Structures are given as structure tokens and as C-alpha cells.
Amino acid sequence: MNFGLRILGAAARLFGPPHKQRRKQAQEASFRDIGDAGVAAALIALGAKLARADGVVTNSEIDAFKNVFQASVEASAGIARFFDLAKQTTLGYQAYAKKIYRHYKNRPDILEDVLDGLFHIALADSIVTEAEVEFLETTARIFKFDQRTFNRIRIAHLGRAADDPYLILGIDEDICDAGLKKAYRKMAAANHPDRLVARGLPPELQKLATHKMAIINKAYSEILDQRKKNPLQTRLDDHKTIS
């Protein structure tokens, strides 16, 4: 039996039995089977359910899925039917993510590839909704990625939001705490309203300078709060003297 047919066999165990209890038993049995075909079926279902996360599965999302999951010609029709079944609802996507994690838990690089593929599908219609971001964040947590890693992957695909505190301070997310403080102090000193007034800032712009300083302070506070809530491993650079 070729690989494509094995995928469909795993899909049948996930969706086949019509009776609710039998279907649940079949799903549990399938999730215990972590063979390549079962993982492939879980990948198809995860991609389909992400496409559904914003409420409508568009042709662009289907095309994006096909780009991510390139099936053989003989398997493509059956996989399309499986995709159509899985896309009916987002319910249960966490179980598919867990199945994939169990199979690749020692290969975080592959798990990141999966998350990259999901971002590719989410971006297919040029709009990433809050529901899709929640789907992606939950999947990342199941894959045991910390918030910092997820933010790095998200930024790689979506860029930084205009109000991103790291963007406002002009620093990277992996900056050490000492470097963060230095960058904040440098920017605060350069943009402090008193200094700008001393340099001859027109009165019309003094209020704007005060507003900008408030934004800088807010960005710094947000980063400190984030780091308190999501403490990272000790940053090696923190042990270095920063002049």
C-alpha cells in the first residue's frame, strides 16, 4: 500500500465510524498510532482546521495548503476529501497538534516547519484574524515553544505591529536586560521634552515630544511586564559589562 493510501487509511480511522462513541474509540486508537501515515493525516487535519479558524475556507487557503502539503497525484483526490471533512469545524485541532508533537518532540526544527506552514495558510487570504492567531499560539504551546520563540516565528511571517514595544525602542526581542535598559535610557535622553526644548524645538511640537516620551516609557514598561510574566533563561549577555 502506498503512502498516500496509508494516509487515507489513517483518515478513515479518524472520521470513518458514524456512531459518536465508535468514532471516539477509533480516534483514540488512531492517536495511539504514531506512524508516518497517521502523522500525515494529523497534518492535513491541522491545516484544514486552521483554514476554517476565520470562519470561511477560501480558495487561496486551499491553494496554500496544497503548497505546504504536496501530495502525489494518486493520493491528492483522497486527501482533498479528507481535507473537506476536517475543515467543517476547528473542534479537536489540539488533539492533532499533540499527535504531531509526540511524533516530532525531539525535532523542534520540524515542529517549527509545521508552524511555518500553518502561518503560510493563515496568510493566504492576506488577513490573519485573532482566531487564527489564537489557533497558532495554542499550537505553538502544544509544541512546547515558549512565547519568545513564537514571537520570533510570528514576526518572521507577519512583521512587527506598529505598536510593538521592541519596534518602538528599536531593539530585538533577544536583547539582554542590561542592553534593554541602556537602549531605553539612550532613547529617553534623546527624546526628553526638556532636552528638545533646549535644542530649540518649536512650541507647536512640544506637546508631540511629550506624547512621544510617553510612548517610549509605555513601551519600556510593557517589555518589563512581559519579561516578568514570561521569564526566560538567564541571558548570557547579562553577565557582560555594558559600557
When the pLDDT of each residue in the chain is averaged and rounded to a whole number, the result is: 76
The most distant pair of C-alpha atoms in the chain lies apart, rounded to whole Å, by 79
CA distance 142 to 48: 18
Give the model's pLDDT for residue 234: 40
Please choose, from the candidates 25, 28, 30, the residue with its C-alpha nearest in 3D space to the C-alpha of residue 13. Answer: 30
Q: pLDDT, tens digit, for every residue of 80-96?
A: 777 888 888 888 899 98
Give the C-alpha distances (Å, rounded to integers) separating 83 from 3, 52, 113, 114, 201: 17, 11, 20, 17, 61
Residue 5 reports pLDDT greater than 70: no
Q: What is the mean pLDDT of residues 217-230?
A: 91
Residue 225 burial (10 A CB sphere; 0-12, 13-18, 19+):
exposed
Give the model's pLDDT for residue 114: 86
Give the domain ranges of the chain.
Answer: 3-158, 165-239
Residue 140 burial (10 A CB sphere; 0-12, 13-18, 19+):
buried
